[in-house]
């Protein structure tokens, strides 16, 4: 690495850090003052206000970086080049016979590193704080009851419904599990006071412990049920660890899956998404498949955005930093409109999920390549 490369990268890193801290600080300050009363109420139970804020916003800073990493790299690169043009340093370098592509190369390497950091954050960082990201300031401790959207276990054909869920206890209040005809000995449904998710243990597979069962009334007299040799409903008659008014429903749908929304898919790692799509109990839609394909495309798109943006400012006529910012803004708007449009097409099955995720790359890479040939020579 030459002295010029270190000088260029130093400017890029400074602008990147300043931009990230400025945007993040603005987001945190605005959001914090809007929810300060809630954070103060949690401080006595969490230890201190600082602990609450660091736990809440620490997770959201990772999410914020995931969303704007490509934009940050583009802004840092464009402002670096524009600053070099404004101070005539780029003119001096080119007068020495150094081509534009040699000037841009360190910025491309830096952008690739930022894209890889963002990918590592998606795979390693965000899944660790997914639970915190799924809670808002009004229900930070997960103790509020939330409505339960019915979800069918496609392996056992049991429809899991209930009045509400409580995340802190992984509990369903007033559960009502609708049963298929193959389990008609239990009636049409299992109704209870509450159901709690239990991970796999020595006594049972993963599933839901129903307590205070009111239907069927003769639960203690019923034997356990199975489908294709696999246990489905465990009763107290065959399992001594169950109380007389309790039963256990085996399910591969965890509590996290049960209350999952777009947040769960967005902040899950690629292996977790693949595991979910292979789970016979779950039937996630096309949007989850689009998200999975996007994991492989996103780093390439982040770098492609740089190749689209640099030709807009890499000319003798563009030395105004505000003009560069305006061009960058228009480019980013068009870039994300195309991406969101393709994702919407894939989510509604108008095109395949794979095509929806890869189509933006097929559209923008040729444009970026042509622009690079024209401006980087």
Q: Could you read off the pLDDT of 259-268 as tens digits, one per residue?
A: 876 677 889 9
Spatial separation of the C-alpha atoms in residues 304 and 310, rounded to whole Å: 10
Does pLDDT of 319 surpass 60? Answer: no
Spatial separation of the C-alpha atoms in residues 258 and 284, rounded to whole Å: 11
Token pair, residue 305, equals: 């955005």
User: Cβ of 7: how many Cβ atoms within 10 Å?
Assistant: 13
Say if strands 207-211 and 225-227 run parallel, antiparallel, or are unpaired. unpaired
Tell me how far CA of residue 131 lies from CA of 170, 268, 288, 327, 371, in angstroms.
12, 10, 18, 38, 43
CB-CB contact of 172 with 164 (8 Å)? yes
Spatial separation of the C-alpha atoms in residues 49 and 51, rounded to whole Å: 5
Per the model's pLDDT, the better-predicted residue between 299 and 41 turns out to be: 299
pTM: 0.85
Helices (H), 251-320: 255-258, 262-266, 270-278, 286-313
Q: What is the pLDDT of residues 120-131, one digit of tens each?
A: 999 999 999 988
Spatial neighbors of 167 by CB under 8 A, at least 6 apart, are: 131, 134, 135, 139, 142, 143, 146, 255, 259
- Give the model's pLDDT for residue 18: 93
Does pLDDT of 321 surpass 90? Answer: no
- Give the model's pLDDT for residue 257: 86
Dihedral of the CA atoms 137, 143, 145, 148 (nearest 10)?
A: 90
User: Cβ of 95: how many Cβ atoms within 10 Å?
Assistant: 9
User: Cβ of 293: how many Cβ atoms within 10 Å?
Assistant: 19
- Give the model's pLDDT for residue 19: 92
Per the model's pLDDT, the better-predicted residue between 322 and 343 turns out to be: 343
Spatial separation of the C-alpha atoms in residues 372 and 291, rounded to whole Å: 29
Per the model's pLDDT, the better-predicted residue between 315 and 163 turns out to be: 163
Local confidence band at 368 (pLDDT 50, 70, 90 cut-offs): confident
User: Cβ of 21: how many Cβ atoms within 10 Å?
Assistant: 10
Q: Using a pLDDT cut of 70, give the percent of the chain over it.
A: 94
Say which DSSP state 314 is in. Answer: -
Does pLDDT of 118 surpass 90? Answer: yes
């Amino acid at each position: 690495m030459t002295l010029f490369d270190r000088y260029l990268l130093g400017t890029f890193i400074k602008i990147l850090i300043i931009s990230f801290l400025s945007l993040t600080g603005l987001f945190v300050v605005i959001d914090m003052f809007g929810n300060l009363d809630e954070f103060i109420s949690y401080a006595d139970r969490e230890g201190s206000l600082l602990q609450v804020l660091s736990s809440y916003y620490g997770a959201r800073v990772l999410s914020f970086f995931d969303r704007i990493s490509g934009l940050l790299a583009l802004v840092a690169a464009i402002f670096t080049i524009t600053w070099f043009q404004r101070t005539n340093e780029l003119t001096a370098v080119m007068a020495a016979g150094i081509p534009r592509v040699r000037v841009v190369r360190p910025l491309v390497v830096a952008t690739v590193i930022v894209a890889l950091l963002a990918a590592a954050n998606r795979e390693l960082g965000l899944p660790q704080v997914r639970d915190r990201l799924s809670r808002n300031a009004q229900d930070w401790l997960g103790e509020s009851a939330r409505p339960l959207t019915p979800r069918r276990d496609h392996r056992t054909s049991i429809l899991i419904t209930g009045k509400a869920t409580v995340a802190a206890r992984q509990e369903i209040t007033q559960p009502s599990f609708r049963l298929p005809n193959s389990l008609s000995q239990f009636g049409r449904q299992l109704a209870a006071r509450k159901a709690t998710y239990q991970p796999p243990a020595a006594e049972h597979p993963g599933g839901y412990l129903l307590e205070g069962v009111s239907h069927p009334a003769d639960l203690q007299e019923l034997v356990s049920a199975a489908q294709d040799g696999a246990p489905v409903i465990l009763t107290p008659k065959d399992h001594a660890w169950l109380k007389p008014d309790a039963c256990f429903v085996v399910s591969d749908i965890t509590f996290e899956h049960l209350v999952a929304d777009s947040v769960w898919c967005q902040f899950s790692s690629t292996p977790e998404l693949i595991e979910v799509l292979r789970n016979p109990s779950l039937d996630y839609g096309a949007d989850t498949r689009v998200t999975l394909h996007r994991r492989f495309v996103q780093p390439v798109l982040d770098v492609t955005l740089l190749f689209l943006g640099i030709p807009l400012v890499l000319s003798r006529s563009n030395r105004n930093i505000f003009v560069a910012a305006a061009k960058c803004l228009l480019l980013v708007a068009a870039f994300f409109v195309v991406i969101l449009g393709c994702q919407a097409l894939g989510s509604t099955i108008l095109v395949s999920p794979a095509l929806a995720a890869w189509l933006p790359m097929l559209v923008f890479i040729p444009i970026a390549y042509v622009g690079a040939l024209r401006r980087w020579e």
